[in-house]
């Protein structure tokens, strides 16, 4: 498997997804924003369609449109502070509606989107890897610098404001970084399953961890096992990489819940 260049790219990309998705996902889960990945993934799909129609690189189209969607999520959250989930529902609906309308302009491009919907290890290009590395470094640097501020914001925003933390600015940047995470994961997992990689490894880690940092560490380990297991299954059994990865992570989640139940 490792003798193929495209599999080497897939494994490197998978490592980045397994590192970044649970890292961001831990903060997302604690902040009760689990659906934000789904919302932005549907927006990313519309960006892919638009880029193909314009003859540009789909990944860059997804990045641009997803960043715009991220800004609108933050904007709507400010307008509906007591009903923040409205922003996610509106953006999700808008993203999938825009994608369907754009696809209507060219029926011939519909068959090209299976790799974006469910992931495809053979479709990953060198330019995709470069973009994934750059976006991953941006996310890691941000988390490293603002870890404790994000930690306080995740559990109590009002208390964080009282401590002088720039809640609005950091919150806006955080949502933009979720958009980066969606783009990083798109080729490996597929836009329909991106949210799963941000949530399921974290959910499994929460069953066995005893602290916030342990949740991040265990989540990354579980994601690594899921991603490499899924990519390997995809190669040897000709399966969609995204579905294989998510099913393995769900299996690990069930095992973690089972063993925690036994311990009780």
Assign 3-class secondary structure to 210-226. CCHHHHHHHHHHHHHHH
Phi-psi region of 55 (alpha: psi -120 to 50; beta: other; left: phi over 0): left
Rounded to whole angstroms, the Cα distance separating 183 from 193 reads: 12
pLDDT at 113: 66
Give the pLDDT band (50/70/90) at residue 176. Answer: very high
List the one residue out of 93, 52, 43, 96 whose CA is nearest residue 71: 43
Tell me the residue ranges of DSSP E strands in the chain: none
* 62, part of any domain: yes
pLDDT at 249: 95
* 262, part of any domain: no
Least confident of 34-48, 105-119, 167-181, 219-233: 105-119
The model's pTM is 0.88
CA distances to 46, 166, 198, 210 from 146, rounded to whole Å, are 31, 10, 19, 22
Q: Hey, what are 147's tokens?
A: 């870890």
118 CA to centre of own chain = 13
pLDDT at 100: 83
Under 8 Å between Cβ of 63 and 86: no
Rounded to whole angstroms, the Cα distance separating 149 from 193 reads: 29
Least confident of 48-52, 81-85, 125-129, 173-177: 81-85
* 132, part of any domain: yes
* 10, part of any domain: yes
Domain CATH number, residue 187: 1.10.3470.10
* 236, part of any domain: no
* 100, part of any domain: yes
Please check the confidence at residue 110 and state whether its pLDDT lies above 60.
no
Provide the domain limits for residue 165. Answer: 5-107+116-192
| Count: domains in the chain | 1
* 234, part of any domain: no
Query: Mind listing the pLDDT tens digit for each residue in 65-102?
Result: 999 999 888 888 878 777 767 888 888 889 889 888 88
Q: Hey, what are 207's tokens?
A: 């069953």
In the predicted model, what is the mean pLDDT of residues 22-44?
87
**Cβ-based neighbour number of residue 39 at 10 Å:** 29
* 150, part of any domain: yes
Please check the confidence at residue 135 and state whether its pLDDT lies above 80.
yes
In the predicted model, what is the mean pLDDT of residues 201-224?
94
Query: Mind listing the pLDDT tens digit for each residue in 236-246?
Result: 988 888 889 99
CA distances to 168, 178, 200 from 204, rounded to whole Å, are 30, 20, 6
């Amino acid at each position: 498997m490792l003798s193929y260049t495209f599999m080497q790219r897939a494994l490197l990309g998978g490592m980045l997804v397994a590192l970044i998705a649970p890292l961001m996902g831990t903060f997302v889960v604690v902040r009760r924003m689990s659906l934000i990945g789904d919302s932005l993934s549907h927006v990313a799909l519309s960006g892919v369609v638009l880029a193909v129609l314009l003859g540009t690189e789909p990944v860059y189209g997804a990045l641009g449109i997803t960043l715009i969607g991220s800004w609108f999520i933050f904007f709507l959250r400010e307008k509906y502070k007591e009903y923040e989930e409205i922003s996610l529902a509106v953006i999700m609906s808008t993203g999938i509606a825009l994608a369907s309308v754009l696809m209507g302009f060219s029926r011939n491009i519909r068959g090209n989107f299976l790799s974006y919907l469910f992931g495809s290890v053979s479709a990953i290009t060198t330019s995709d890897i470069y973009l994934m590395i750059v976006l991953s470094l941006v996310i890691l640097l941000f988390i490293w610098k603002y870890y404790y501020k994000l930690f306080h914001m995740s559990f109590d925003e009002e208390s964080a404001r009282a401590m002088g933390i720039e809640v609005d600015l950091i919150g806006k940047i955080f949502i933009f970084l979720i958009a980066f995470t969606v783009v990083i994961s798109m080729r490996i997992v597929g836009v329909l399953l991106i949210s799963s990689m941000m949530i399921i490894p974290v959910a499994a880690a929460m069953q066995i961890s005893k602290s916030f940092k342990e949740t991040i560490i265990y989540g990354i380990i579980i994601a690594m096992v899921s991603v490499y297991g899924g990519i390997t299954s995809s190669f040897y059994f000709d399966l969609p990489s995204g579905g294989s990865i998510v099913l393995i992570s769900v299996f690990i989640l069930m095992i973690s819940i089972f063993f925690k139940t036994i311990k009780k």
